[in-house]
Amino acid sequence: MSEQARESTADQDLETGPEAIDDNNADDGVDETVGAQAVELEVEEVREVEQGSSVQASESEQLRQQLLRLQADFDNFRKRTRQEREELQSFATRKLLGELLPIVDNFDRAMSVLTGDDAALPTVRTGVEMVQRQLLTLLSQYEVRPMEVLGQAFDPKVHEAVLQEPAGDGPAGIVKEELQKGYWLGDRVLRPAMVKVTV
């Protein structure tokens, strides 16, 4: 290669050298800008995901609270239904047992009349007594029991005074005679006793 050719090549390198360096530096600046933008986009995406997860957590908590409220409402409904059913059953039982008591009264009346010398009367009396015992046993299974009222102080919660009698020398307000039996259902009054009271 001639000396002139070498010089012209060197001149060209000198002329193009700084521009080439600037071009290379310019390319690096573009790469850095693009990289910074990519990083910013990734950071924004991460923030969006975090915000989305916090929104999901908030919605999840709301759903959980709603579920707990529904469960509590259902438990209350179940308890209320059970209580209403028990009250209805108790009312039905009380009503039925109350309606059986006049039958017991009629048995008592029949037993008081069956006292005579007729040969058939003892057999009839025995049959009536058996039916009466069976009925009383059934009532006792439901905690129905007769009241003991004679000689006790009059209590309007337990007794129904239909007749009065002068007390004389005795104290006033005492049950002198039982006209119709009263009955307990457990510790509650199923039917008050009809009584004669001293005044």
pLDDT digits (tens, 9 = 90+) for 23-73: 444 445 455 666 666 667 676 776 766 666 666 778 888 888 888 888 888
0.75 cut: is pTM over it?
no
Confidence label for 192 from pLDDT (cuts 50, 70 and 90): very high
Mapped onto helix, strand or coil, the DSSP state of residue 79 is: helix
In angstroms, the CA 173 to CA 167 distance is 8
Measured CA to CA, the distance from residue 24 to residue 26 in angstroms comes to 5
**pLDDT reported for residue 167:** 85
- How many CB atoms within 10 Å of residue 128? 16
Domain spans of the chain? Answer: 3-142, 146-199
**Buried b or exposed e, range 139-164, using 16+ CB within 10 angstroms:** beeeebebbebeeeebeeebbebeee
**Paired residues of 160 in beta bridges:** 194
Query: What is the reported pLDDT for 21?
Result: 45
Residue 199 has pLDDT above 60, yes or no: yes
Quick one: tokens of 197?
A: 């009271």
Angle, helices 3-113/121-141, rounded to nearest 10 degrees: 160
Per-residue pLDDT for 105 more than 70? yes
Alpha helices in the chain (DSSP H): 3-113, 121-141
Question: Does residue 139 surpass a pLDDT of 80?
Answer: yes
Range of weakest confidence among 19-23, 173-177, 183-187: 19-23
Q: 87 with 162: CB under 8 angstroms? A: no
Residue of 142, 178, 143 whose CA lies nearest to 158? 178
pLDDT at position 50: 64
CATH superfamily of 3-142: GrpE nucleotide exchange factor, coiled-coil domain (3.90.20.20)
- Does the pLDDT at position 126 exceed 80? yes
Instruction: Compare 87 and 1 and report the one with higher pLDDT.
Output: 87
Determine the average pLDDT of the residues in 133-151.
Answer: 89
Fold held by 146-199: Nucleotide Exchange Factor Grpe; Chain A, domain 2 (2.30.22)
Asked if pLDDT for residue 10 goes beyond 50, the answer is: no
More confident: 180 or 40: 180
With a cut of 90, say whether residue 155 has pLDDT above it.
yes
Q: In Å, what is the CA distance from 177 to each residue of 182, 184, 190?
A: 12, 18, 20
